[in-house]
Structure 1
Amino acid sequence: MPTPTSIDGLLEKASLYLSKRQVKQIQAAFEFGAEAHQGQTRKSGGDYIWHPVAVAEILAEIQLDCESLIAAILHDVVEDTPFTKDDIEQRFGHNVAEIVDGVTKLGKLEFDNPQEAQAENFRKMILAMSRDIRVILIKLADRLHNMRTLGVMRPEKQRRIARETLEIFAPIAARLGINAFRIELEDLGFKAMYPNRYSVLERAVKKARGNRNEVVNQISEAITNRLVDDKIPAQVVGREKHLYSLYKKMKYKNLSFDEILDIFAFRVVVNSVDECYRVLGSVHSLYKPFPGRFKDYIAIPKSNGYQSLHTVLFGPYGAYIEVQIRTKEMHEVSEHGIAAHWIYKNDQTEEGQATNHRLNAVEIRAQEWVKNLLEIQQSAGNSLDFLENVKIDLFPNVIYVFTPKGEIVTLPAGSTAVDFAYAVHTSVGHSTVGCRVDKKLVPLRTHLESGQTVEILRSQEQQPNPAWLHFVTTAKARSQIRHFLKTQQTESAASLGKRLLTKAIRSFNMSYQELTEEIQQKVVEELKLNSWDHLLEEIGLGQRLANLVAKQIHDLLLGTEDSIFHYQGKIDPAMPLVISGTEGMVVNYANCCHPIPGDDILGFISAEKGLVIHRQECPNVKNFKNHPEKWLDVHWEENITQTFNVELQIEVLNGRGALATVASKIAEMKTDIDRVRSEDKDETYSLMNIVIRVRTRKHLADIMRKLKRLPIVEKIHRI
């Protein structure tokens, strides 16, 4: 649709479903907008006002309400003209002003790079959506018109805008069920992003269309005649897949163009749900159905509210036939999604205000999605993290699973039990210890499938495991786990930092107890930090060396009149740091040597990992000799109850069930296996590397002795 040069087209479309009073309000908004944008032009050279009018006209085509059309006309006024949000509110009301404020871009803020600007704009848009979902509808129409007029931009800018459209705006349109917007956004984005691929595919489709029309008409006539015989009134339409859909299918399924064109698609629209299922029976009797390719989205709608029956049939000439069967209302929702439910046609008072508008399933799902985005936004570290998490959430091939009470939970394909737990509630996810799928215990990393019943086992002592990040799929689970771990790491780092600093300042005949709040504040100001806890966190995380900070504190205090103090008690500066195994995430145990209680150990301060514990005989320790300032004397606390990883290499006779025999013996000793790797040594023997959890060196010795007694075990040693 070209950019309009008059208001007539918008008013004509609006008059088809809005009252005369509302049409006059739209006229008044145009006059105000034209005055506000006076003298402003677009890159194409036309007056700027015709862009917001075009946006409003797009929304009028899907019959959005009066307030939305007014806000669309004024959506750039606050950003680009001297008029303010208050000016709009005085003239057109609070709701319009709030929508305009939500749509306004962050044009006055500066960012380090375009990615950060994009991410922060998107974050603000989501917050605005949470107040009024119409914000995103106007934003999508705005993007759609910009894509229609993209040709005046430089090629590199066209590609950048096209990428953003394909990665963010088209998926949002899909998530909200606005199929008409999604298809055009995808095709326009595809054309700008890959102009050569687009033109080649477009020519191929046009060339093949003439040959296909005869087959499409024949199949359409056959389906129509069968429905007439079965006395089912219906509209049968042959569908042509849009170019971006063809491109994606060819790319990701590695299919040729001819293979894609062997699929014929039809849509059947009827009056009632009952007739949908009757049509399904009719087409199945006409053409044989393809096994496993039937989907009932009426009984279980998609996450965006989409409802239809989908089936694939064996058609004439060896062609596959895709058939979608839906009611007229379902078709409206499939095309316009949540926008379909801002149509008030019969719900208008004389003043043009909506009344008695009840939330429907599509709006509820949209609001749940926005609420979920807000949770992700609150726990994300920054705007870029938030945007990446949302991108994950925007590309779901969905599955439908059930709670033990029979409630449906929609998840992206590939989701695990942990994703399910966080979808139910954040507290459920945090406390997950196990899972039953269809009443059978399964590992938490198990991928769920549609139709399964999932029960989460919980414990109040449980906390999120960092390993979960390696297999969770949903943005909510990922962001909530990261947020929890970051908070826990901060607390653990401060605790460890305090212990390290307490030990370090003893070398200067000082005690931690004598560092009063006044002294702490002076140190914080000198080091230009936010707080004393911030300093302790940096020490605990290895970003500052405790010995160096202790020296800085000592030198700082020497320069004051009243703070040179000499500790009178007996302090051993060489007293090692005690390790209990409960320090949290900032004390790590080196994977190269797997230290366990009873081993002689030392600590090494790492800026990436905090305090890393090694065995003293570890070969990697020699690499630390050039950095003695980062060494730390440490020893184990007595009576440790924690368990620690240790790796064994076991040489066993080749034979069926060898691994099961070894694993069974380890399980008998109430010991967990963390991971196993096995490979052939020669024709007679295999080597197993097994990481197990032990408490002490004595515990390990007992396990090794019992494993050595197995007839199949030839050798065993600790790595």
Structure 2
Amino acid sequence: MMRQYELVDLVKRYNPRCDEALLDKAYVYGMMKHAPQKRASGDPYFSHPLEVAAILTEMRMDDATIAVALLHDTIEDTDATKEEISRMFGAEIAELVDSLTKLKKLDFVSKKTEQAENFRRLLLAVAADIRVLLVKLADRLHNMRTLHHMREDKRLRIAEETMEIYAPLAGRMGMQNIREELEDLSFRNLQPDAYASIVTRLALLREENKNLIPAIEQALTEKLGSDGIPARVKGREKKPYSIFTKVQRKGLSFEQLSDIFGFRIVVPTLHDCYHALGLVHTTWSMVPGRFKDYISTPKQNDYRSIHTTVVGPGRQRVELQIRTEEMHRFAEYGIAAHALYKDGDKISGGRNIVDLSKESGAYSWLRETIERLNDPSLNPEEFLENTKLELFQDQVFCFTPKGRIIALPRGATPIDFAYAVHTDVGNTCVGAKINGRIRPVMTELANGDEVEIVRSDAQVPPAAWEQIAVTGRARAAIRRATRDAVRKQFGGLGRQILERAFERAGRTFLDADLAAAVHRLGHNSSTEVLTAVGRGEIASEAVLRAVHPELFDARGQPATPRPATGDGWFDAGSTSGVMKFRVPDGGSDDRTSIPIRGLSGDLPVRFAPNGGAVPGDRIVGILTPGEGITIYPIQSPALKAFDEEPSRWLDVRWDIDPTTPARFPARITINSLNEPGSLAQIAQVIAENDGNIDNIKMIPKAADFHEILIDLEVWDLKHLTRIINQLRAKPIIASATRVNG
């Protein structure tokens, strides 16, 4: 186990003026508290906090963070309290230890709702102080290194949690070394056979090419040195999990991989990076399509480097990464590389740490993700799904026509691009030009594409776009815009219902009167009330009673009888709260009303297109955003298509005024003998029974029979049944049935 002075020496290597007293006190306190405890391996428990602290010294963390590492398990596993730690080490360290204690209890392999809530709590803790994440990742890394001492079920749970959450989160923060090690350790436990197979193949390949890496290192060093570039060249082997994912993703064999061996060229200055690139490309042939300049266009997590692949010495394909020392440090430690020390006041015995939220672009993704937590339309499971999607995605870089760079996850479409530019651009997007050519909005974008969004102010993003979009930002914005559009439609419907109801009561509907009564109706705004009326959740009479109580007696009944309307229009304000529909007589009316045929108003209403509905049917309304309400008979097979969308179902019923009769659409199918006069006999039955043929279609089925589809207009279900029964009585008709479309 590491001794006290050894830990202090590790810190002094990068911070000679560290607060030894703070580190010594934290070491002694942690060791005393954990003294009786053992790990599953049999080692003293305090060896774990020590190793976590050692990992953080590699990241050159401040004294407070090292102290927190030594203390991070004391509140959870010993009799230590937050108050005691605050008294001995200060409020800052106590707060960090307490945050880590709470995160210890989070389970990311639980059922989705709990998993999503736990992930939310993790991100909120990290956003409050990024050092929480750095200590948590170091803690997880050491636990993964010693995972083989745990029982199998616990190993698998921890490995799955690490692969799903902590490894990609480390990658998002630019901490590539930690991400790769976490992935490999998880891969070893989750898929031991695949891991062993790749490790065996790598060992054979390493033996076959044991002289290749030193030879290429030497050739590159000498070539760059001869041109005055003092470069540090280091060969590396691709990690087993990285090989596994590439083989799976691209469907390649192990032998087809060209970048199992890669080399990092670290040079002093930015100028040297491009000087080295030019020298490499003029000495060895570049492999087309394998060049990426992440210096001019850094990744979203601030990663910067030049990537290229050349056919190098010995005709071997060689992947090269060219970067400065500063870029290399960030590539290794990501956001932790910004934890530099500034001259100034001391905090918790260490020198001030740079505000990572201001200095690091890697932090911007975290900030945006936290902002999405406040979106009320995004439930926890959707938030987790969208965030995981972005965590695991690599990136592509696209350009606006003005040259602005937009970084997006791989697989992103122009829809994602539009919302990345601005929410208003996404909401008004109707098309896209990619590299000057009009392309579908679901086209997958590639690195370097120039994207121009075609816009229209009349556009509302279709709900289906949510399934096409890749980014959580786009999905949340589409969901919000769709919800707002539906609310607007229901609000328009609600306004028309209330205007009609107030007119029948001899009053004029005024927004100011409604605003004064919203709280009596249990809502916060007039918009909410109008939407609720449009949805049928509030009866128009309830609103009238809240706005004009003088029209009702003590029992809540109308003080004076209402005049009969006899207008043949829909009314959605029954006292039961169930939406009722009054049907039209086919005449005209220039008042603001809601006709069943839906030719005016914000929310059109129409009958099922393949069979209609008639009074006497039990009916249901189906809402289609942007199109209106369709009325179906309850027995219609077409309703199966909406079984998974209960929010679109509206409870409706007939409200027929016998003084204003009207016809309704229905469809029947008839199998009739194919002989002269058969169609005339059918038409005669319908005419004699006061039915009206709206459309007719004949389909030859055999030499002797025709199938005839007839769209009728009838008064009600009894009228339709009488016509069908009389048709069946005709000798020329084999069958006559109603079509429920």
Asked if 1:307 corresponds to 2:300, the answer is no
Q: CA deviation at 1:371?
A: 1.6
One of 620, 627, 632 as aligned partner of 1:604 = 620
Cα contact 1:576–1:632 (8 A) shared by 2:
no
Q: CA deviation at 1:530?
A: 12
Asked if 1:576 corresponds to 2:565, the answer is no
CA distance 1:431–1:72, shift in 2 (3 Å): farther
Q: CA deviation at 1:291?
A: 1.7
For residue 102 of structure 2, give the secondary structure of its aligned residue in structure 1: coil
Asked if 1:192 corresponds to 2:185, the answer is no
Write the letter of the residue equivalent to 2:366.
V
For residue 476 of structure 1, give the secondary structure of its aligned residue in structure 2: helix
Asked if 1:402 corresponds to 2:399, the answer is yes
Write the letter of the residue equivalent to 2:374.
Q
Q: CA deviation at 1:628?
A: 13
Asked if 1:220 corresponds to 2:217, the answer is yes
Which position in structure 1 is the counterpart of 2:231?
Answer: 234
Asked if 1:466 corresponds to 2:459, the answer is no
For residue 129 of structure 1, give the secondary structure of its aligned residue in structure 2: helix
Which position in structure 2 is the counterpart of 1:689?
Answer: none
1:384 and 1:353 map into 2 onto residues whose CA distance is 40
Cα contact 1:604–1:630 (8 A) shared by 2:
yes
Q: CA deviation at 1:604?
A: 1.9
One of 245, 249, 253 as aligned partner of 1:248 = 245
1:540 and 1:161 map into 2 onto residues whose CA distance is 50
One of 552, 556, 580 as aligned partner of 1:563 = 556
Which position in structure 2 is the counterpart of 1:176?
Answer: 173
Which position in structure 2 is the counterpart of 1:478?
Answer: 475
For residue 390 of structure 2, give the secondary structure of its aligned residue in structure 1: helix
Cα contact 2:231–2:268 (8 A) shared by 1:
yes
2:604 and 2:157 map into 1 onto residues whose CA distance is 43
1:241 and 1:622 map into 2 onto residues whose CA distance is 55
Which position in structure 1 is the counterpart of 2:704?
Answer: none
1:581 and 1:43 map into 2 onto residues whose CA distance is 74
CA distance 1:284–1:45, shift in 2 (3 Å): same
Q: CA deviation at 1:335?
A: 0.6
CA distance 1:518–1:440, shift in 2 (3 Å): closer
Asked if 1:338 corresponds to 2:335, the answer is yes
One of 67, 72, 75 as aligned partner of 1:70 = 67
One of 281, 284, 304 as aligned partner of 1:284 = 281
Asked if 1:375 corresponds to 2:371, the answer is yes
Write the letter of the residue equivalent to 1:368.
S
Cα RMSD of the aligned pairs, angstroms, is 4.8
Of 190-199 and 448-457, more deviation after overlay is shown by 448-457
Write the letter of the residue equivalent to 1:604.
V
For residue 105 of structure 1, give the secondary structure of its aligned residue in structure 2: helix
Cα contact 1:495–1:540 (8 A) shared by 2:
yes
1:631-672 CA distance string (max 9 Å, x none)? 45799xxxxxxxxxxxxxxxxxxxxxxxxxxxxxxxxxxxxx
CA distance 1:19–1:283, shift in 2 (3 Å): closer
One of 118, 121, 144 as aligned partner of 1:121 = 118
Which position in structure 2 is the counterpart of 1:714?
Answer: none
Asked if 1:417 corresponds to 2:417, the answer is no
For residue 320 of structure 2, give the secondary structure of its aligned residue in structure 1: strand
Q: CA deviation at 1:629?
A: 7.3
1:568-594 CA distance string (max 9 Å, x none)? 11246985342557887x989799659
Q: CA deviation at 1:302?
A: 1.4
Of 47-56 and 244-253, more deviation after overlay is shown by 47-56
What TM-score, normalized by structure 2, do the two folds share? 0.69
Greater C-alpha Rg: 2
2:132 and 2:194 map into 1 onto residues whose CA distance is 33
Which position in structure 2 is the counterpart of 1:293?
Answer: 290
1:347-366 CA distance string (max 9 Å, x none)? 476775545948799x4312
Which position in structure 2 is the counterpart of 1:24?
Answer: 21
1:99-137 CA distance string (max 9 Å, x none)? 334434357799995433332222112122222222221
For residue 213 of structure 1, give the secondary structure of its aligned residue in structure 2: coil
CA distance 1:567–1:466, shift in 2 (3 Å): farther
For residue 72 of structure 2, give the secondary structure of its aligned residue in structure 1: coil
Write the letter of the residue equivalent to 1:296.
D
Cα contact 2:495–2:530 (8 A) shared by 1:
yes
Write the letter of the residue equivalent to 1:406.
G
For residue 238 of structure 2, give the secondary structure of its aligned residue in structure 1: coil
For residue 378 of structure 1, give the secondary structure of its aligned residue in structure 2: coil
CA distance 1:224–1:521, shift in 2 (3 Å): closer
2:535 and 2:91 map into 1 onto residues whose CA distance is 49
1:507-528 CA distance string (max 9 Å, x none)? xx9x999xx999999998xxxx
What TM-score, normalized by structure 1, do the two folds share? 0.71
Write the letter of the residue equivalent to 1:367.
Y
Q: How much identity, in percent, do the aligned residues show? A: 37
1:484-512 CA distance string (max 9 Å, x none)? 43455456557767988999999xx9x99
1:289 and 1:373 map into 2 onto residues whose CA distance is 39
Cα contact 2:346–2:352 (8 A) shared by 1:
no
2:623 and 2:77 map into 1 onto residues whose CA distance is 47
One of 136, 140, 153 as aligned partner of 1:139 = 136
Write the letter of the residue equivalent to 1:576.
F
CA distance 1:349–1:521, shift in 2 (3 Å): closer
One of 201, 208, 211 as aligned partner of 1:211 = 208
CA distance 1:272–1:18, shift in 2 (3 Å): closer
2:656 and 2:367 map into 1 onto residues whose CA distance is 47
Which position in structure 2 is the counterpart of 1:696?
Answer: none
Cα contact 2:411–2:444 (8 A) shared by 1:
yes
Cα contact 1:593–1:614 (8 A) shared by 2:
no
Cα contact 2:413–2:445 (8 A) shared by 1:
yes
Asked if 1:320 corresponds to 2:329, the answer is no
CA distance 1:21–1:470, shift in 2 (3 Å): closer
Q: CA deviation at 1:427?
A: 4.0
CA distance 1:360–1:155, shift in 2 (3 Å): closer
Q: CA deviation at 1:561?
A: 7.3
1:528-578 CA distance string (max 9 Å, x none)? x99999999788668x8989x99xxxxxxxxx9733556611246985342
Which position in structure 1 is the counterpart of 2:271?
Answer: 274
For residue 168 of structure 2, give the secondary structure of its aligned residue in structure 1: helix
CA distance 1:419–1:520, shift in 2 (3 Å): closer
- Say how many residue pairs are matched: 607
Write the letter of the residue equivalent to 1:374.
I
1:441 and 1:12 map into 2 onto residues whose CA distance is 62
Q: CA deviation at 1:69?
A: 1.4
2:169 and 2:623 map into 1 onto residues whose CA distance is 40
For residue 266 of structure 1, give the secondary structure of its aligned residue in structure 2: strand
For residue 265 of structure 2, give the secondary structure of its aligned residue in structure 1: strand
For residue 237 of structure 1, give the secondary structure of its aligned residue in structure 2: strand
Superposed, 1:317-716 pairs within 5 Å as: 318-344=315-341, 347=343, 352-354=349-351, 357=354, 363-379=359-375, 381-433=378-430, 435=432, 437=434, 443-456=440-453, 462-489=459-486, 562-565=555-558, 568-571=561-564, 575-577=569-571, 578=594, 580=598, 593=610, 604-605=620-621, 613-614=629-630, 620=636, 630-632=652-654
For residue 393 of structure 1, give the secondary structure of its aligned residue in structure 2: helix
Of 190-199 and 124-133, more deviation after overlay is shown by 124-133
Which position in structure 2 is the counterpart of 1:100?
Answer: 97
Write the letter of the residue equivalent to 1:331.
H
2:465 and 2:611 map into 1 onto residues whose CA distance is 21
CA distance 1:479–1:91, shift in 2 (3 Å): farther
Which position in structure 1 is the counterpart of 2:48?
Answer: 51
Which position in structure 2 is the counterpart of 1:639?
Answer: none
In structure 1, runs of 5+ residues without a counterpart are 551-559, 596-600, 636-718
